[in-house]
């Protein structure tokens, strides 16, 4: 039986952790639990549900800053920003459909704890790049503050960075301050059709190396193209997004189309179709349709994305985001994540791979996150011990023993 | 020197000759400097009020040498202070009497330029500007551009998480570095990140950036390169008050425009800069804004027109758009020379670096004026207006008894004021020794202990750059202890399901 505690303020979170430390209990930290199926399944005694900590506490559009309790639904924050013509520039992707849940779930704390970022990451940075300040309860049952509400701040260590992407293993975040940015006036997409993966990586590289300020670059190979919305034809499509003020987008669309001509036939998407297309890229749509296949997310140097992909079985389904630097790979067989071939490709070419979806038994038996060198592993463990010496927060969620 | 540094270790000092001898076996030739005369150039950094000769200067050339030197110092309990170009304005590179000063200047090679992946791999002693220069032929550049970019090194930038006038749009160092190689004090060499986006596991790279040389010695850095914008144009706008200028900044951002740079100067700074550079600044205004737009010409022209309109709606009394590249550079020349310009009208100046929520600017300027009267010292302000980073320049004369102390106290009061209105002690120059003792203004003991536990994970003996950043040094064993008991689980107040 796993009991659930649902605190409504920082003090109560502190009390809960205090209890866990004193009694040697382990806590599972939860926002909306939308990514519960992601990461290593952890053995815990009690669930600490942080979704009761809700509400936007500060929003100054002209200073590009927003603070909210960590359990505030992302959807609520995004709606508020939209009203003011602003957005989360890191474009958190929506894992809901991928993991068999509804779209539109998830908390701000969950997005930061997993360093969620979508297609715009290659231009605007990840969640960690927009994370300005935090209040959090460490595994020592102590409430700490770090950062602040201003963008430019180098006072003390940048603790926000290490908390972003720590999957709730270092501290339970209760208040979060992020940088927000203006929503672009309009967008359009330039499509190059019919490219193979290698050529597509070259095209994306050329586009990113131009002054067209591309804010999304994905390659959708033939075998998955039909799953994406908004494409004119269900064929291999290398898609390049342009955002900004109308005269600028119009100008860059022409420039980029001309630059892409030598690679293959070029098509253009207007704002409405472009939006639809990038929503399906952001949701990794092909892999949400069926929940069966084990799903990997690989981060590597963009120029060699195709080479990493080529080292994986041809029966896998995949597509590329981040100009080739992010590869989503769905393995062909339900019970075979084929970690071996992926880890070998990474070892040779660099980067890291995360097993995003697989049955729990499988996630417990292979490394979900990229195995680290002995030195990095030891250092990570020492960092964890500093925050959470008794291992009460999400023990084993990232790595066994951390 | 009003800041106390850690007590020198007399046992280490007593072994100085022996230590120098061993270091010479590790870094041969001229890589070890032990004579007082030759060590003199290393005794201070950009915070020149503080100086201290190190025990010995070591200038390694390879990662192996760094590793050997650090392993030796670790085994022998010898302190180490890393140094890049020594332009730190917070005393981060200030030597210790009983410490090795590890100068990284010989790490000056650009190892790889990879346009396909839009990155460069450089050694930490390469200067910031040299990176941009090395890729300029292909139309690329490295975005963070501290005003010291001719001199400061990438290693120093990483340690300080340096910014520049363009970081509102393009980010600080931490947003533009993908990976690095660091050597821990034990001599262990680690790679964090790489050519890909987002490091795996804990974001240790994010911790190292801005850690002021306290966590490890950086021996290689992978930076992101950006394509140069097609064009850039600037608008020079004068206002009758800083409130109006601040309102204009808010209105520009409120209109969804993020300029490439947005700088503000107050009357004393305008007067000094104009007298020095003749940039064509209006002299009858209280505040001056430089707003730069960059991108394709179609975009820049469109946005410049909107900025002009917004400026006029916000009581601008003068508004001039750069008509040529030459004129744009002239607009900037005044701002970029603001420090030396102030240096011309005063024997010495002390540059502060707080950040405030921008809406608080009028209040902060008013209170600063009061402080100026109280301390009897003039102050000029330049301001990264887009992100609230304020650089007050306090004018003083170090030859007049007591003026330096007064300037420092004035500076501390300004930083306390920044924190009081919701801001922070330092926006880009770092804590170093300068703001070390002000840290408790912003952080509780619990906060500072949590940060020091990070330090313990990297450097358990506290040998790397001690005496910087943290006002009080605790032993790691002491910080590691935890006394928690009791904690019944009635949680009378916590909803349970
Ligand atoms: C005129 C002037 C203008 C300036 N303008 C700006 C500005 O616009 N924006 C801004 O952000 N800063 C500015 N600065 C401050 C300064 O230039 C930056 O902090 C710069 O990054 C320091 O680089 P450096 O190579 O001189 O480092 P140093 O001063 O030598 O060292 C700075 C810190 O970095 C550590 N360090 C250096 N190299 C390494 C390494 N390889 N590994 C680990 N630690 C290392 C040192 O221990 C020290 O703590 C300015 C300084 C001056 C003098």
- Full strand arrangement of the beta sheet holding B56-58: B32-33, B56-58, B99-103, B79-83
Q: What is the mean pLDDT of each run of 10 residues along chain A (402 residues)?
A: 85 95 93 69 85 96 96 95 96 79 85 94 96 98 96 96 96 98 97 98 97 97 96 96 97 98 98 97 89 90 94 93 96 80 90 89 83 94 97 88 72
Tens of pLDDT along A103-124? 778 899 999 999 989 999 999 9
CB atoms near residue B48 (< 10 Å): 12
Residue to mutate (ligand 1; options B45, B47, B84; most atoms within 8 A of CB): B84
Q: Do B446 and A165 touch (CB under 8 A)?
A: no
- Give A162 to chain B, closest Cα distance, Å: 5
pLDDT at B277 > cutoff 70:
yes
pLDDT at B116: 94
Phi, psi of A31 (to 5 degrees): -95, -100
pLDDT in the model for residue A1: 43
**Collapsing DSSP states into helix, strand and coil, what is residue B440?**
helix
Q: How remote is the CA of residue B45 from the centroid of ligand 1, in Å?
A: 9
- Complex prediction ipTM: 0.95
Which protein residues touch ligand 1 with a CB less than 6 Å away? B 45-46, 81-89, 92-93, 104, 124, 146-148, 152-153, 155-157, 159-160, 162-164, 212-213, 217-218, 339, 428-429, 465
Question: Which percentage of chain A shows pLDDT scores above 70?
Answer: 97
Name the residue facing A375 among B190, B446, B484 (closest C-beta): B190
- Residues 6 or more apart whose CB falls under 8 angstroms from that of A91 comprise A117, A118, A119, A120, A121, A124, A282
Identify from B162, B172, B202 which residue to disrupt to test chain A contact, counting A C-beta atoms within 10 A and taking the largest count. B202
> Tell me: the pLDDT tens digits for B305-364?
999 999 999 999 999 999 999 999 999 999 988 888 998 999 999 999 999 998 899 899
Question: A-chain residues within 8 Å CB-CB of B448?
Answer: 156
Element (H, E) at A23: helix A10-23
What pLDDT sits at residue B198? 85
Provide the pLDDT for residue B34: 97
| CA proximity to A139, closest of A384, A397, A402, A396 | A384
CA atoms within 13 A on the CB side of B392: 30
B35 CB-near residues (< 8 Å, 6+ apart): none
- pLDDT reported for residue B493: 57
Question: pLDDT tier at B488 (50, 70, 90 boundaries)?
Answer: low
Average pLDDT of chain B? Answer: 94
Task: Kindly state the average pLDDT of the residues B143-169.
Answer: 95
On chain A, the residues whose CB falls within 8 A of the CB of B469 are: 156
Q: What is the pLDDT of residue A84?
A: 96
As a residue count, chain A comes to 402
Find where tokens 């703001």 sit: B435
For residues A278 and B473, what is the distance between their CA atoms, to the nearest angstrom? Answer: 50
Q: Would you call B357 and A149 a contact, using CB atoms and an 8 Å cutoff?
A: yes
DSSP assignment of B309-370: HHHHHTT-SEEEE--SHHHHHHHHHHHHTHHHHHHHHSSEEEE--EE--GGGHHHHHHHHHH
Residue B202: list chain A partners with CB under 8 A: 162, 165-166, 170, 380, 383-384
**In sequence order, what DSSP letters do the residues of B19-81 get, joined into one string?**
HHHHHHHHS-GGGEE--HHHHGGGS--S-TT-----SEEE---SHHHHHHHHHHHHHHT-EEE
User: What pTM was estimated for this model as a whole?
Assistant: 0.95
| Cβ–Cβ under 8 Å, residues A395 and A44 | yes
Closest ligand 1 atom to the C-alpha of B468? Answer: 49
Within 8 A by CB and 6+ apart from A28, the residues are: A2, A42, A44, A46, A47, A48, A394
Residue with tokens 């680290």: A372
CB B176 within 8 A of CB B223: yes
* B354: nearest CA partner in chain A: A153
What is the distance between the alpha carbons of residues B314 and B291, in angstroms, rounded to a whole number?
A: 14
Work out the average pLDDT over B386-409.
Answer: 94
Q: Is the pLDDT of residue B164 over 80?
A: yes
Instruction: Give yes or no for a contact between B264 and B314, defined as CB atoms under 8 angstroms apart.
Output: no
- The end-to-end CA distance of chain B, in Å, is 59
| Residue B188 pLDDT greater than 70, yes or no | yes
Tell me what pLDDT residue A103 has.
Answer: 74
**Largest Cα–Cα distance of chain A, in whole Å?**
67
Buried b (16+ CB within 10 A) or exposed e, A194-211: ebebebbbbbbbbbbbbb
Q: Decide: residue A48, CB within 10 A, 0-12 exposed, 13-18 middle, 19+ buried.
A: buried
Q: How crowded is residue B69: how many other Cβ atoms within 10 Å of its Cβ?
A: 25
CA angle, B299 as apex, B293 and B302 as ends, to 5°?
A: 90
User: CA dist B401 to B404, B406, B414, Å?
Assistant: 8, 10, 22
What is the reported pLDDT for B404? 93
CB burial of residue B317 (10 Å; 0-12, 13-18, 19+) = middle
Residue among B198, B355, B486 minimizing CB distance to A126? B198
Distance from CA of A95 to the nearest CA of B (A): 18
Smallest CA–CA distance, residue A16 to chain B, in Å, is 8
Q: What is the pLDDT of residues B3-15, one digit of tens each?
A: 889 999 999 999 9
Binning pLDDT at 50, 70 and 90, where does residue B71 land?
A: very high
**pLDDT attached to residue B490:** 47
Q: What pLDDT is attached to residue B323?
A: 95
Q: Tell me the DSSP string of A170-239.
A: SEEEEEEEEE-EEPPSEEEEEEEES--HHHHHHHHHHHHTSTT-EEEEEEE-HHHHTTSSS-SSSS-EEE
Instruction: Give the pLDDT confidence score for residue A266 in this predicted structure.
Output: 98
Q: How many CB atoms lie within 10 A of CB A373?
A: 10
A148 CB neighbours in chain B (<8 A) are 355, 422-424, 442
A314 class by beta-carbon count within 10 Å (0-12 exposed, 13-18 middle, 19+ buried): exposed
Which of B203, B427, B491 is closest, CB to CB, to A128? B203
Calculate what percentage of chain B has a pLDDT beyond 90. Answer: 90
Cβ neighbours for B294, distance < 8 A, ≥ 6 positions apart: B169, B229, B231, B232, B260, B300
Q: Which two tokens stand for residue A121?
A: 């990451």
For A318-366, the DSSP string reads: EEEEGGGTEEEEE-SSTT---HHHHHHHHHHH--EEEEEE--HHHHHHS
Q: How many CB atoms lie within 10 A of CB B209?
A: 29
B496 band by pLDDT with thresholds 50, 70 and 90: low
- Chain B positions touching A205 (Cβ under 8 A) are 116-118
Rg (CA), chain A: 21
């Amino acid at each position: 039986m796993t009991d659930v505690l649902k605190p409504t303020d920082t003090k109560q979170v502190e009390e809960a952790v205090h209890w866990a430390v004193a009694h040697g209990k382990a806590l599972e930290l939860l926002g909306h639990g939308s990514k519960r199926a992601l990461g290593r399944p952890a053995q815990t005694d009690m669930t600490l549900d942080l979704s009761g900590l809700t509400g936007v506490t500060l929003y100054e559009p002209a200073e590009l800053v927003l603070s909210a309790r960590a359990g505030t639904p992302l959807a609520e924050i995004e709606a508020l920003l939209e009203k003011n013509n602003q957005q989360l520039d890191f474009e958190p992707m929506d894992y809901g459909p991928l993991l068999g849940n509804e779209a539109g779930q998830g908390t701000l704390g969950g997005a930061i704890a997993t360093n969620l970022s979508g297609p715009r990451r290659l231009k605007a940075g990840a969640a960690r790049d927009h994370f300005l300040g935090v209040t959090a309860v460490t595994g020592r049952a102590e409430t700490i503050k770090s950062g602040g509400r201003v963008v430019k701040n180098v006072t003390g260590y940048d603790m926000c960075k290490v908390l972003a992407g720590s999957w709730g293993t270092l501290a339970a975040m209760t208040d979060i301050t992020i940088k927000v940015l203006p929503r672009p006036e309009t967008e359009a997409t330039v499509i190059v059709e019919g490219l193979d993966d290698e050529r597509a990586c070259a095209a994306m590289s050329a586009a990113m190396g131009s002054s067209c300020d591309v804010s999304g670059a994905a390659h959708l190979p033939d075998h998955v193209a039909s799953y994406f919305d908004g494409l004119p034809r269900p064929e291999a499509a290398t898609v390049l997004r342009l955002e900004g003020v109308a005269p600028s987008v119009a100008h860059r669309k022409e420039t980029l189309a001309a630059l892409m001509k030598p690679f293959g036939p070029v098509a253009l998407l207007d704002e409405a179709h472009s939006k639809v297309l990038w929503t399906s890229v952001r949701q990794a749509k092909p892999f949400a349709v069926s929940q069966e296949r084990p799903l990997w997310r690989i981060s590597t140097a963009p120029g060699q994305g195709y080479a990493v992909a080529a080292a994986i079985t041809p029966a896998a389904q995949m597509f590329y985001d981040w100009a080739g630097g992010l590869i989503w790979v769905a393995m062909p067989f339900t019970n075979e994540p084929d970690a071996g071939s992926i880890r070998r490709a990474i070892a040779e070419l660099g980067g890291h791979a995360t097993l995003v979806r697989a049955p729990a038994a499988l996630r417990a038996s292979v490394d979900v996150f990229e195995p680290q060198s002995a030195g990095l592993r030891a250092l990570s463990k020492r960092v964890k011990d500093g925050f959470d010496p008794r291992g009460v927060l999400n023990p084993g969620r990232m790595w066994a023993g951390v | 020197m009003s800041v106390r540094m850690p007590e020198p270790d007399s046992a280490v000092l007593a072994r100085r000759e022996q230590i120098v001898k061993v270091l010479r076996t590790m870094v041969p030739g001229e890589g070890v400097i032990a004579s007082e005369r030759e060590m003199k150039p290393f005794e201070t950094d950009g915070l020149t009020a503080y100086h201290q000769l190190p025990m010995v200067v070591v200038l390694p050339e390879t990662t192996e040498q760094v590793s050997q030197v650090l392993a030796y110092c670790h085994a022998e309990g010898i302190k180490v202070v890393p140094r890049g170009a020594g332009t730190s304005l917070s005393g981060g590179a200030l030597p210790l009497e009983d410490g090795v000063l590890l100068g990284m200047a010989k790490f000056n090679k650009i190892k790889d330029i990879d346009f396909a992946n839009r990155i460069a791999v450089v050694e930490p002693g390469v200067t910031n500007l040299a990176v941009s220069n090395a890729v300029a032929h292909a139309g690329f550049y490295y975005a963070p551009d501290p005003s010291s970019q001719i001199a400061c090194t990438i290693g120093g930038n990483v340690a300080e998480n340096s910014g520049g006038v363009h970081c509102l749009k393009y980010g600080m160092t931490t947003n533009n570095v993908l990976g690095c190689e660091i050597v821990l004090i034990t001599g262990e060499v680690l790679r964090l990140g790489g050519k890909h986006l987002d490091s795996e596991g804990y974001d240790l790279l994010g911790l190292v950036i801005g850690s002021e040389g306290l966590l490890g010695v950086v021996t290689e850095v992978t930076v992101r390169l950006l394509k140069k914008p097609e064009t850039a144009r600037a608008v020079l706008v004068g206002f009758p008050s800083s409130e109006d200028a601040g309102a204009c900044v808010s209105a520009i951002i409120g209109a969804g425009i993020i300029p490439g740079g947005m700088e503000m100067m107050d009357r004393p700074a305008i007067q000094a800069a104009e007298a020095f550079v003749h940039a064509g600044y209006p002299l009858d205004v209280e505040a001056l804004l430089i707003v730069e737009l960059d991108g394709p010409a179609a975009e820049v022209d469109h946005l410049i027109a909107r900025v002009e309109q917004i400026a006029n709606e916000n009581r601008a009394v003068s508004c001039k758009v750069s008509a040529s590249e030459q004129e744009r550079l002239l607009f900037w020349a005044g701002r970029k020379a603001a420090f030396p310009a102030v240096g011309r009208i005063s024997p010495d100046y002390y540059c502060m670096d707080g950040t405030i929520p921008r809406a608080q600017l009028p209040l902060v300027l008013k209170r600063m004026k009061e402080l100026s009267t109280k301390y009897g010292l003039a102050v000029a302000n330049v301001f990264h207006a887009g992100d609230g980073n304020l650089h007050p320049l306090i004018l003083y004369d170090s030859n007049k008894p007591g003026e330096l102390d007064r300037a420092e106290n004035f500076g501390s009061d300004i930083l306390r004021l920044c924190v009081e209105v919701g801001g922070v002690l330092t926006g880009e120059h770092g804590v170093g020794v300068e703001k070390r003792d002000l840290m408790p203004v912003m952080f509780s003991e619990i906060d500072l202990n949590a940060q020091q536990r990070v330090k313990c994970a990297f450097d358990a003996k506290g040998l790397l750059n001690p005496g910087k950043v943290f006002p009080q040094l605790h032993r790691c064993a002491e910080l590691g202890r935890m006394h928690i008991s009791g904690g019944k689980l009635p949680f009378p107040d916590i909803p349970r399901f």
